[in-house]
Amino acid sequence: MTAVTIELNGVKIADDVEPRQSLGDFLRDRCGLTATHLGCEHGACGACTVVLDGKATRSCLSLAVMCDGRAVQTLEGLRTDAMMERLRRHFHESHALQCGFCTPGMLIMARDILRRHSRPDAATVRHELSGQICRCTGYANIVKAIVAAGQETAQVAASEE
């Protein structure tokens, strides 16, 4: 076992982990943060996407020991994030989810897209989502929701100036 200290959703935690335990398994099994879904477990589907030091990251490809001293945010830790609130509302209004398995990873990736692209168009969103797999929706409503959230974010920013 290896001792790690991780800032998890704004709270420093210390734990002992197996050297080969993935961050995704650590989050689900040791921390009880079950919004992080493990699908393919080799980085292809994006269901396990979390925020690691401010960047969207596949938690199945990151070992928990590699996160020692780093900051991790899961969907649970983004409950009060204004952009995430906007995205959740637009996902709901656009019917951008069906079974929900991919939704946590999609939401975190959507937030990452909006942080990097102030007002993305549909083509940009589709390109940026290319690593996220949804087997239910066909992506049209997911793209629509992210574009709408981006437009609203830009309007809010403009009104605050």
Domain boundary pick from 78, 109, 143: 78
Domain boundary pick from 62, 78, 94: 78
- Please state the rounded mean pLDDT for residues 116-129: 96
Q: pLDDT grade, residue 66 (50/70/90)?
A: very high
- Please state the rounded mean pLDDT for residues 113-135: 95
Q: What percent of the chain has pLDDT over 70?
A: 100
Q: Which residues are CB-neighbours of 133 under 8 A, at least 6 positions away? A: 39, 40, 44, 45, 46, 47, 102
Q: Domain span at residue 112?
A: 82-156
Whether pLDDT at 21 is above 90: yes
pLDDT value at residue 161: 77
CA distance 34 to 27: 7
Whether pLDDT at 69 is above 80: yes
- Among positive and negative, which fits the CA dihedral 31, 35, 37, 43? negative
The count of domains in the chain is 2
